[in-house]
Amino acid sequence: MKAGIGRQVQISVIGRGVDASPDSMVLADEVGRLLALRGATVVCGGLEGVMEAVCRGAKSVGGRTVGILPGSDPKAANQWVDVPIPTGLGHARNAIVVKAGAAVIAISGAYGTLSEIGHALSEHKPVIGLKTWRLDPPDDTGSGMVLAATPEDAVNKAMAAASRG
Amino acid sequence: MKAGIGRQVQISVIGRGVDASPDSMVLADEVGRLLALRGATVVCGGLEGVMEAVCRGAKSVGGRTVGILPGSDPKAANQWVDVPIPTGLGHARNAIVVKAGAAVIAISGAYGTLSEIGHALSEHKPVIGLKTWRLDPPDDTGSGMVLAATPEDAVNKAMAAASRG
Amino acid sequence: MKAGIGRQVQISVIGRGVDASPDSMVLADEVGRLLALRGATVVCGGLEGVMEAVCRGAKSVGGRTVGILPGSDPKAANQWVDVPIPTGLGHARNAIVVKAGAAVIAISGAYGTLSEIGHALSEHKPVIGLKTWRLDPPDDTGSGMVLAATPEDAVNKAMAAASRG
Amino acid sequence: MKAGIGRQVQISVIGRGVDASPDSMVLADEVGRLLALRGATVVCGGLEGVMEAVCRGAKSVGGRTVGILPGSDPKAANQWVDVPIPTGLGHARNAIVVKAGAAVIAISGAYGTLSEIGHALSEHKPVIGLKTWRLDPPDDTGSGMVLAATPEDAVNKAMAAASRG
C-alpha cells in the first residue's frame, strides 16, 4: 500500500490578477517557492498575475498547488495549478479561497483581494500583508492584518500562525 | 387586475452588526428613512446593528426591506425585514448583498463590511462611504469609494449613481 | 407611521425555464394566483417558463414575487418579479431558491428542478410535486415528495405544510 | 526543477454519507481504487459513508483525493482526503463537487446525491449511476444518467466520458 500525496498544511495566497505589477509577481514567486520548501500546499484563486506567480514559484521546487476558480471551466486555471476547483460562484469564490488556508498571505492586490482580506479577518483567520492595502477601520475594530517586509518574513509569519491555529 | 407592490430601485446598505456603535445606528436609521422616502427598497444582511437600524428607518415611513441572511433560518432576520432570504452561505452571502443593490452605502463597519466593499468595487458597483473604512490601495487601484458626510449626502449620491447605472 | 408591505409566508415554486411546456405554464400561472390569494409571497428562480408563469399568476391578483437569479444582472428577471436578487452563483443559486420558502412546489421541471428537489429534501423542507419528476430511491430513503393532482391541491398542501413548519 | 504532483483527470464521486449501506461502501471503495489505478484524482464531498469509502479505496493504491466540504473546518474531512476544501456553503457546495470532475459517478445516495445528480445533468456533465436513484422525468427531458452494473463498468464509462469532454 502506497501513501500517495497525503495532507499538507495549506496556506492561501491572494493578490492582483490581471494587471499585477512585475514587482508583486516577483514577491509572489518567492512566497510560493518558500511555502513549498516548508512543505505547505499553496491555495489561490487559480488565475493569472499574483495567482500564477505564486503557483509557478511553488512548482519550481516541486510544491503542490490548488486553484479555486470563479468560473466553471477547469481549463481557465493557470498551467502551474495541480488541482483546479471550478466553482461557478464568481467573486463569491473569494470566501472559499481564504477558508481553504490555515493562514492567508496578501500580496499587493486590487478590490478582489480587499474582499478576501475582509472575509479572512471576519473568520479570525491570520492575514499577513506584503505590500498590500493599508486599512484604517472606522470603529474599535483592529486593522487585523500582520505586516511583513519580505517574502521570507511573510512565509515565516504565516507558517507560525498556521501552526498555532 | 391589481398592480401589487411592483419593482423599485434597490440600494444595499452595509455596516457593522453585533457591537455597532450607537452613532452608526443613528446614521443607518436616517439612511433607511431617506431611501424609503425616495422610493428605494433597502437591501441588507438582515441581522442586527446597522442592518437592523436601516430597516427600522425604512419601515418608519412605510418603506420596503430585504434581508439576505448568512444562515438557513428566516427567523434570524430582524423584525423590520419584509423579505428574508436565508442563503446558508455564511460570509459568502456578502457578495450577494452588494449584487442586489444598484449602489451600496457603507456605514461604519467591521471586517464583513470590508469584504462587502471589496466585492462591490470588484463589480464596478458605486460605493458610498459614511464614516467607514479608509482604504489605501497598494498599486494604481483607486480607493474606489465616494465619501459622504451625512446620511442625506450618502442617499443623494447613491440614488444619483443608481440612476446612472 | 405606515406599516409598509410587512412579512408574508414565502412559498418557493420551481420548474422548467426554457422549453417549459404550455401545460406546465398553465399550472404554474394558477399556482401563483392561488398562492397570492392565500397571502403568500412567491419565490422562484426569476427567469422564464414556469418561473415567469407563476409570477404572472401571482401579480394578476396583486401578489408579491421574488426572483433569485443565477446571474449578476437584475434586468434578467422576468417582468413579473417585484424583488430581483441577482446572486452570480450560477446553478448553486438553486439551493437558495428552496431555502427561501417555507415549502416548495415543483411543477414539471428539467435537471435544475431535480437539483432543487434534492436540496429541499436534504433540508427536510416540504416538497409538493405537481406533474414533476418521479423518483425511486436506491436505499431506504423515502421518495420525499408529496404528490398533488391540481394547482389547488398543491397550494393547499404547501400552505398546510408551511403552517406546520 | 522538480515536477511535483502535476494535474490529473478529476472524477467526482457522490453518494450517501451518514447511514450509507455497507454494500454501497464496498462499491465506493472499489470505484476509488480503480480510479486511482487509472490515474484519476477522486473528488468528493469529503465526509463519511460513500465519500470516505471512495477516498480510502483511492489511497489504498496511492491515489489522490480532494474533499469539498460543506462547513468551514478542514478537520471535518475524513482521514483519506489529501486536499480538504472547506467552503462554508452548506448544501450549495454540492454544485461545486460535481463541477470539479470531468465526469460524475453516483453510488447509491440520498437527497444530497439527488441534488448533485441534478446539478451535474444541468451542466451537461456525464453522470454514471451505480445502484443509485432511478429518475423518471415529467417532460421530454431524458433521464440523463448512464447506468453502470459494476464498479469497473462505472469507472470505464466515466473515464471514457471524461476523455471525450
Q: How much is the average pLDDT of C109-120? A: 93
C90:A88 CB<8 A: yes
pLDDT at A1: 42
Work out how many CB contacts closer than 8 A connect C with D: 131
pLDDT at B3: 54
Mutate to test the interface with B, among C11, C43, C82 (most CBs of B within 10 A): C82
pLDDT at A70: 97
C74:B10 CB<8 A: yes
pLDDT at A5: 85
Angle at the Cα of C6 from the Cα atoms of C4 and C7, rounded to 5 degrees: 165
Please say if the pLDDT value at position C152 is more than 70: yes
pLDDT at A3: 54
Find where cell 433597502 sits: B42
B90:D91 CB<8 A: no
Q: How much is the average pLDDT of A15-35? A: 96
B73 touches D: beta carbon within 8 Å? no
Please say if the pLDDT value at position D41 is more than 90: yes
Distance separating alpha carbons of residues C116 and D86, to the nearest angstrom = 22
Residues D82-136 pLDDT 10s? 999 999 999 999 999 999 999 999 999 899 999 999 999 999 999 999 999 999 8
Please say if the pLDDT value at position A140 is more than 90: no
Q: Among D91, D114, D144, whose Cβ lies nearest the Cβ of C117? A: D114
B96:C88 CB<8 A: yes
β-partners of residue D51 are none
Q: What are the CA-CA distances from residue A164 to residues A37, A64, A141, A152, A159 (Å)?
A: 19, 22, 22, 18, 9
Contacting subunits of D (3+ beta carbon pairs below 8 A) = A, B, C
User: Which residues in chain B are closer than 8 Å to D88, comparing Cβ atoms?
Assistant: 89-92
Q: How much is the average pLDDT of A140-158? A: 91
- How far off is chain B from D70, nearest CA to CA, in Å? 9
Say if residues A117 and A94 touch (Cβ distance below 8 Å): no
Reported ipTM: the value is 0.94
Residue C74: CB atoms within 10 Å: 21
Q: How much is the average pLDDT of D29-39? A: 98
pLDDT at C5: 85
Please say if the pLDDT value at position D75 is more than 70: yes
pLDDT at C145: 92
D139 touches C: beta carbon within 8 Å? yes
User: C74-78, C132-136, D137-141 — which is least confidently predicted?
Assistant: D137-141
Percent of chain A scored above 70 by pLDDT? 96
Residues D78-88 pLDDT 10s? 999 999 999 99
B76 touches A: beta carbon within 8 Å? no
Percent of chain C scored above 70 by pLDDT? 96
pLDDT at A131: 93
Question: With bands split at pLDDT 50, 70 and 90, how would you rate the model's confidence at D139?
Answer: confident
Please say if the pLDDT value at position C1 is more than 90: no
Please say if the pLDDT value at position A128 is more than 50: yes
Question: With bands split at pLDDT 50, 70 and 90, how would you rate the model's confidence at A144?
Answer: confident
A89:B91 CB<8 A: no
Dihedral of alpha carbons C59, C61, C64, C69, sign: negative
A2:D72 CB<8 A: no
Q: What are the CA-CA distances from residue D44 to residues A102, B110, C122 (Å)?
A: 21, 35, 17
Torsion of CA A107, A108, A111, A116, to 10 degrees: 20
- For chain B, which domains are there? 10-164 (3.40.50.450)
Q: What are the CA-CA distances from residue A21 to residues A24, A49, A108, C72 (Å)?
A: 5, 8, 8, 29
pLDDT at D164: 87
Q: Which residues in chain B show pLDDT less than 70?
A: 1-4, 141, 143
Mean pLDDT over all residues of chain D? 94
pLDDT at D144: 83
Q: Among A89, A116, A135, whose Cβ lies nearest the Cβ of B133? A: A135
Please say if the pLDDT value at position C102 is more than 90: yes
C7 burial class (0-12, 13-18, 19+ CB within 10 angstroms)? middle
Mean pLDDT over all residues of chain C? 94
Q: How much is the average pLDDT of A86-94? A: 95
Q: How much is the average pLDDT of D29-38? A: 98
pLDDT at D1: 42
User: Which residues in chain B are closer than 8 Å to C64, comparing Cβ atoms?
Assistant: 4-5
Give phi and psi for A158, each to the nearest 5: -70, -45
pLDDT at D3: 54
Mean pLDDT over all residues of chain B? 94
